[in-house]
Structure 1
């Protein structure tokens, strides 16, 4: 179960997310403050709630959140230069690598990931097949990024049986939501613009981060 402080923060987090979605459509200037506020609020919450967590894991998780925040900021400026998208991709790639390191610290070595991994490979291959002819110079970067995020989801799956059930479920759900969010972003940017893309991408992304953080707080 979530603690009282976690429930209260979840409500605040949802309000910030709603504000972000509103400003993205109606108040572009305020959006430059609203979008970073999502991760800033989550980072602040994690800092105050994670005192019981091993220092190494705490630093890696904070690193993942900070690089995610940097990626959020960089992606707000993609209209000014394509280099901002590349830099944002690198920032989120780094965040995923840090999450992989965090998840693998609690790996259940007796867990067989092949069925889960096969499902992810089929999904990732299908998505890449759809996108490949539209990627241009981003073909290899996107391919490598997909490998990393699939690895991140697999490492979340490998925690099963070595952590609390609630922690496992929250982190795995967050990892899958992150995968969905990045997939929507890729389709929207490289294949075909999606209706209400800001809502679908930000909703899945924000709750991905929230569930991962809540799950890691429940690990110990």
Structure 2
């Protein structure tokens, strides 16, 4: 019975993984058309949400991550639809990040002052570079709000590694999420508001998908219900 269930789960994981990888590769094809990109872009993250939803022992943290993944997939679709839905896409991603912050807070509430300093210094520098070199215009306040949320997510992600009550593997996976997503969003913002450059799309999407995968695996490996409030760090 146990072997059959394990085999079934393994097969399900492989199928979902193959679908996600195929969609990602199709999206990244240089010859991919607009409709193909629109269809395939949200599929990898939706597959991650589906896989996590099928895992046993789901709690508030896991459901928050699932919601964040679905919001991320919606943001993918809205951004791909063009400038007219850019703000909606930004809002969708912002809400997704808030869901991730909520998930991080379920098992770790330690302040991690060093992590906070590093994260917010990065946020200030990133926004200053965009503001000085870019052409934010009416996007200044929305971009500032987005930077604030993503740097907060970076801080809370960094605070989890080594925290009491946080499974070590989960802490390692979830640290990769905010770091890679920060890279992805920084490159995206630079290419949009400052200047475009070769390989920008590859860097943006690869780090973005790896980040989403990181938080998916972190949520799947974390099962500790009691939040850590230790103040170390």
Within 5 Å, which residues of 2 pair with 1:122-141?
A: 122-133=121-132, 134-141=135-142
2: distance between equivalents of 1:20 and 1:27?
Answer: 6
- Please name the residue that 1:39 is paired with: 45
Give RMSD over aligned pairs: 2.0
2: distance between equivalents of 1:96 and 1:163?
Answer: 20
Is the 2:21–2:44 Cα contact (8 Å) retained in structure 1? no
Alignment equivalent of 1:67, drawn from 62, 66, 71: 71
Runs of 4+ in 1 over 6 A off after TM superposition: none
Please identify the structure whose Cα radius of gyration is greater: 2
Alignment equivalent of 1:20, drawn from 18, 24, 27: 27
In structure 2, stretches of 5+ residues that fail to align are 1-8, 224-233
Count of paired positions: 209
- Please name the residue that 2:54 is paired with: 48
Using the size of structure 1 for normalisation, the TM-score is: 0.87
Within 5 Å, which residues of 2 pair with 1:98-109?
A: 98-109=99-110
2: distance between equivalents of 1:91 and 1:153?
Answer: 18
Is the 1:96–1:149 Cα contact (8 Å) retained in structure 2? yes
In structure 1, stretches of 5+ residues that fail to align are none
* CA shift digits 1:74-105 (9 cap, x unpaired): 001224x2xx1111110000000010000001
SS class of match (2:42): helix
Within 5 Å, which residues of 2 pair with 1:117-156?
A: 117-133=116-132, 134-156=135-157
- Please name the residue that 1:178 is paired with: 181
Using the size of structure 2 for normalisation, the TM-score is: 0.83
